Structure 1
Amino acid sequence: MPDPKQKLYAWKELRRQEKQEAAWLRKHKNRKEPLIHQKLDQKIPPKLKSTLNAAFVKAFSVVFQKGSGVIEKTYDKEELKQDYQVREYAAQLKNSRKGLRTFSRDAKKTGRKNLMISGGAGIGMGILGIGLPDILLFAGIAEKNIYEIALNYGCEYDSEEEKKFILMLIQGAVSYGEAAEAINQKIDDFIDSGEFAENMSLEEQIAATAHQLSEELLYMKFLQGIPVIGVVGGAFDAVFMKRITDYAVLKYDRRFLKKHFTESVQ
């Protein structure tokens, strides 16, 4: 028989999550053009935009189609799965809102760890004046970050649909306004149904995500390619990784809470 308390706690946590999500969308309703972008606009080579976009497409193609095995060597997948099972069992015993919140708390810890890795790598590359080659590293850390967050919530990431879900999380994290709301709705639809309404291939989703990231990181990657002062551009790796982390935790938290609420009423 369903536990009415469990249903109530899951419902309240879902309402909390929805408020956080609404705040996220409000924060990213309008894109504010940084002053440094205006100053760099005339200095950027015309071909850099297409070059950067191609570099992101290649980087995401490599890490999402061929790099999972390498990335999984950077963390203990089985240990993370076991940690989830322990937290899930403890949450059932506690049967409280606090028990449900341990998942988002631990996911944020994972995000902070990978944020430090991303920031350190970006700044290091910036000091050396390395911009474009840093893209593959950024894509790899982003994938590692979300894979670990997914495991924290008991989710897999190996199937093509899950990879498209992860790519859409990255795309949504760096989008604004109506575009961000549209992507957010597609993600919610997937959470509810387990499938995407649009029959978009993995390659097409890689291209869409790469295009959005290249639009956002164009100026910073240009700046990162200049030795020493490139540290400013490199530091933005951490800024965008935080956005990706925050959004991924929000959506995996929603997925987790939806699952708990559904199970509590069955």
Structure 2
Amino acid sequence: MFLTPWQKEWNYVLRQEYEFLRKGRFKKDSVLNGLVADKVPDGLQNTLDKAFSKAFEIIFEKGTGVIEKTYNKKGIEEQFQTNENNAKDRDDRNSLRLFSRKAANSGNKNLIFSGVEGIGLGALGIGLPDIPLFTAMILKSVYEVALHFGYTYTETEEKYFILRLIQCALAHGKELDSFNDELNGFIEDGVLPKGYSESEQIRATAATMSSELLYMKFLQGLPVVGAVGGAYDVIYMQKVQKFARIKYHRRFLFDRADEKIKPTIVEGPKSKGGHGPGFDPDDGPATA
């Protein structure tokens, strides 16, 4: 069957998503985690939960404007409009790839800053105070990805999507599949879960983050050796950035290419071990 560039791009995104889920289903504890596991004080995870929750609350309430001062929001929006017009006019894969390429370029700058910040504070033995800055950097990265694909991030629905996206990116096993299916459901209908509470979702996302980063944040609180823990900020941020590009890319294609993609979509297996609707294994390998 002949596939249009938009259909090929759709399949490309589905393969990226499948590979992300496949790699993330099983959590591999590092040797470093094993060495520090019995040294983590009781109650640290609860402390991290509260710290991440507070960071999200403060940033959502009055920090987004500050974050926006760190990038050219208007410039990104104008660039997106140009890219979107080109994609419609040219109707080829190169123009469609520009969105994710531009998003990746901005993400690389954030990774560099996060690495310098995490390692620097870790070398000084600063762990918990790093959380607001680390959270702000993650949100900054997701905000920029959203803008590169034509989306905002201040409405309740958008904050839900971002919180769930971060939670999903750092989850494992059945939770990873479940969260991903919920995100895809939101992409298709734009409806918040019944009885949705932003404060509860913030706590849920914070809990996933604190669980995943527990050992690293403990290690980061130790002088000198904490630089190792701080270096992991880059690893986790990179993971969130990659997943954000996949989900916003999927959302962009679904929202803006009705006549080019949706008529060819057929229901397939859900995330749990499947490729999802519309997957075409003959369209070549996925790349990061």
TM-score of the pair, normalised by structure 1: 0.94
Match of 1:213 in 2: 209
Residue equivalent to 2:93: 97
Match for 1:92: what amino acid?
A: K
Distance, in Å, in 1 between the alignment partners of 2:35 and 2:137 is 29
**AA matched with 1:138:** F
Give identity over the alignment, percent: 44
Letter of the 2:48 counterpart: L
Displacement of 1:60 after TM fit? 1.2
Contact 2:6 2:91 in 1 (8 A): no
Select 1:151's aligned residue among 138, 147, 152: 147
Other-structure match for 1:55: 51
Residue aligning to 2:122: 126
Q: Structure 1 counterpart of 2:155, which letter?
A: S
1:92 Cα offset (Å)? 2.0
Partner of 2:21: 25
Give, in angstroms, the shift of residue 38 of structure 1: 1.5
Residues 10 and 260 of structure 1 are in contact (CA less than 8 Å); yes or no, is this contact kept in structure 2?
A: no
Residues 36-67 of structure 1: per-residue CA shift (max 9 Å, x gap)? 11111111111211111111111111112221
What is the distance in 1 between the residues matched to 2:152 and 2:233? 26
Judge which range, 56-65 or 136-145, deviates more. 56-65
User: Aligned with 1:198: secondary structure?
Assistant: coil
Deviation at 1:93, TM superposition (A): 2.4
Within a 5 Å distance, the mapping from 1:70-219 to structure 2 comes to: 70-219=66-215
- Residues 29 and 176 in structure 1, CA contact (< 8 A), matched pair in contact too: yes
RMSD: 1.5
Q: Distance in 2 between matches of 1:175 and 1:140?
A: 20
Letter in 2 for 1:12: K
Q: Provide structure 2 residue ranges, at least 5 long, that are not aligned to the other structure.
A: 264-288
Kindly indicate whether the alpha-carbon contact (under 8 Å) linking 1:189 and 1:196 is maintained by their aligned counterparts in 2. Answer: no
Does the CA contact (< 8 Å) of 1:87 and 1:103 recur in 2? Answer: yes
Tell me, in whole angstroms, the C-alpha distance in 1 between the residues paired with 2:194 and 2:184: 13
Q: What one-letter code is carried by the residue in structure 2 that aligns with 1:130?
A: I
Q: Distance in 2 between matches of 1:263 and 1:158?
A: 29
- Partner of residue 270, structure 2: none
The CA distance in 2 between the partners of 1:91 and 1:203, in whole Å, is 38
Alignment partners' CA distance in 2, 1:263 and 1:131: 50
Residue of structure 2 in register with 1:15 after alignment: 11
Q: Which has the higher helix share?
A: 1
Q: Distance in 1 between matches of 2:152 and 2:223?
A: 40
Which letter does structure 1 place at the counterpart of 2:73? K
Per the TM alignment, residue 32 of structure 1 is displaced from its structure 2 partner at its CA by 0.9
- Deviation of 1:263 (Å): 4.9
Query: How far apart are the structure 2 equivalents of 1:65 and 1:166?
Result: 15
1:231 partner letter: A
Distance across 2 between alignment mates of 1:9 and 1:96? 5
- TM-score relative to the length of structure 2: 0.87
CA offsets, 1:2-40, max 9 Å, x none?
A: xxx9x8221221111111111111001111111211111
Code of the residue aligned with 2:183 in structure 1: it is I
Work out whether residues 186 and 196 of structure 1, in 8 Å CA contact, stay in contact via their aligned partners in 2. Answer: no
